[in-house]
A and B are shown apart, each in its own frame.
Chain A
Amino acid sequence: MIYVNQLNKHFKESHVLQDVSITFDPHITYAIIGSSGSGKSTLLRCLNGLETPSSGEIKIDDINIFESKDNLAKARSNMGMVFQNFNLFEHKTAIENVMFALIKVKKLSHDEAFKTASTALDKVGLSHRYNNYPHQLSGGEKQRVSIARTLAMSPQLVLFDEPTSALDPEMTIEVLKVIKNLVKDGLKCILVTHEMSFAKEVADMIVFMDQGKILEITPSEQFFTQPVSTRAVQFLSHTQFKGETQGKKHYS
C-alpha cells in the first residue's frame, strides 16, 4: 500500500498540492485526472521522489520514502516511471536505453541485459528498432522504448505521467494500445492522463483533482456516469466525454 499523508507542495508562490491524502492499493489501477495545473503530475512525481514535498509524508508499506536515500532507492526499485516527453537517453540506441539500468542497477552481464532488453522491446512491438537512436524514432516509438525501458526493470507498479500528451492522435492510439495490453496482462499502474475514454477503460479507480486538492476517488464506471463533485461534472462536460461510443472510436 502507498500511503500519502497530508502532502503539501509549494512552487514559489503557488500552492500546488494542498493537504493531499490518499491510499493507493497496489492491486488496483488508478487514473488521476483533472485540468492542467490541478497538481496531478506533481502528486505522481512525489510518489517516486522526483519532487520533494514541502510537508507531509509518503509511506510505502511502512517505509517512509523521504526518510533516507536508501528508502527512496528501495521505493524506486519497485516503481517505474514513464514520462510525457519520453526522456530517452539521446546518446544511446533503443536497446542501449533499455540495457543501461539493467547493467548499472540490476548488475546484469551485457548478454543477460541484451536478452532482457530485447524481450521488453519485442513486447512493445519494436523488434526492428533495436539499433536506432532516439532522433531516428517517431514519437510513438520513443514512448514505446521508454515503456520497455521501465518494464525491463520488472517494477511492481508503473507511474505514467501523461504518456500521450506529446503525441499526435495516431501515435496516441499506438501507445495507448500498448499500455492497455500491459494492464490486461496484469501490470499495475497509476496514470495521469487527459485521455478520458482510456482512463475509463483501463483504470479501476479515478482520482479527480482540482486546484491542488483531491475532490473525489471514485470507481471508474461510476465516475463517468455519476461523478460525486460538481466540479467533476463540469470538467467532464468540458472534456466532451460523451460516453462509450465516441471513446471507443478514439483509440481501439
Chain B
Amino acid sequence: MIAESLQLKSTKQTALEIRGKILDIGLPVTSSVSIKNSIAVGFGDGTIRFFDPGLTDPRVFKVHSGVVLCMVSNGNYILTGGDDGKFLKISFDGEVEEIADFGSRWVDTVAVYKNDKVCSSGNKVYVWHEGQKKEKILDHPSTVGGLAFCSNGKYLAVSCYGGVTVWERLDRRWKSSRFIYKGSHGLVSFSPDSKYLITAMQENEIHAWRLRDKDNLKMSGYPAKVKSFDWVGNTPYLVTSGANQAICWPFDGKDGPKGRKPICVADGGKQYSTFIKSLPDEEAIFTGFRDGTVLLSEIDENKNANIIRNPTGAEVTTIALTSDRSHILIGDSKGSILWSTLWAGRE
C-alpha cells in the first residue's frame, strides 16, 4: 500500500504558510478552543499549549498524564477531560484545578455553559452548577457519545446508543425527554436557533430531530464517518465532514433540509474531509482533509475554494479561530501546527 496525496498537488506555499508559523510539535493534536483572544490546543501527551497573537512560541502546560480527550471553553477558562480519568479546569494562566477524578474510567466528553461545568464518564453525566458544591448525576442507557448545551443553556443534549436524552433545566431539577433513533450516536449539537438537534452516527450518516415535534430525518450517503460538523451563516447551514467535499445542509424554512439536496463545496479530490470550522458572518467554511489540506470556501457551488494549507500527510484534527477572528490555528494527527494571522496586514 502506498500513501500518496492525490489532493491538489501544489508546491507553492499558501499565503498563510508564508505569513504564519509552522510548528512541528510531533504529538497528536486532539482538540482546540478559543479562550480570551488566544487558542488553547490539547495534545496526546496530556499537554495544553496556549497560542497568543503576537507571540510565535506557545505557552506549554502539562495537565493530564495521558491524552487530552476533549476540551471546551467558556471564553475565560477551559475544561478538559483525559484518559487519566480527570476532569480539569484550566485558567488562561495555566493554573489547573481538578474538578473530579474517575480513575481508570475516561472522561470522554465535556461541556460548559457560563460557569456550569459538565462532563461524562461511562454512561453518567456530571453537572457542577455554579454556586453548588455537590454535582448532579444524570444516568443514561449506555456510554455517552456527545454533550451539548443549547445557546441559552436551558437544554443539555446527551447522545448515546439509541438516541439522545435532552435534559431541561428546571428550578431545582432536570427533566428528561428522549429522542429515539436506532444506532450509536456520537457528536451532538443544537442548531443556533435551538429548533433542531443533530447527531453524527457510528454509521456514515447524521440524524436530525425537530425539537418541537420530534419529527426526525436522516442524512445518509456519506462514504466515511462524519467526524466533525459546524453551523454556518444565517440560513443556517449544517456543514459536515465525511465526504470528499464539505456537505452543507440548509436548516431554514419549516422543514429544514427535508426533501432538499445539500450544497457541496470544497472539493478534496479523492481525500475525505475530517474537520469543519465555520468562519462566522462570512457564510464561509474551513474544511480540513485526511491528507492535511485545508480549504476555505463560500457556501456556493459556483465559487472555487482557496487553499489555506498544503497537505502534510496527516489528518486535520482541529481548526480554531481567535475570538476576534484575527488568527487561525490548524493542527493534525501527527502534530504539525499552522498558526497565522487570518488576513494579510493584520498582525
Query: A and B bound?
Result: no
Q: Which residues of A contact B (CB under 8 A)?
A: none
Q: Which residues of B contact A (CB under 8 A)?
A: none
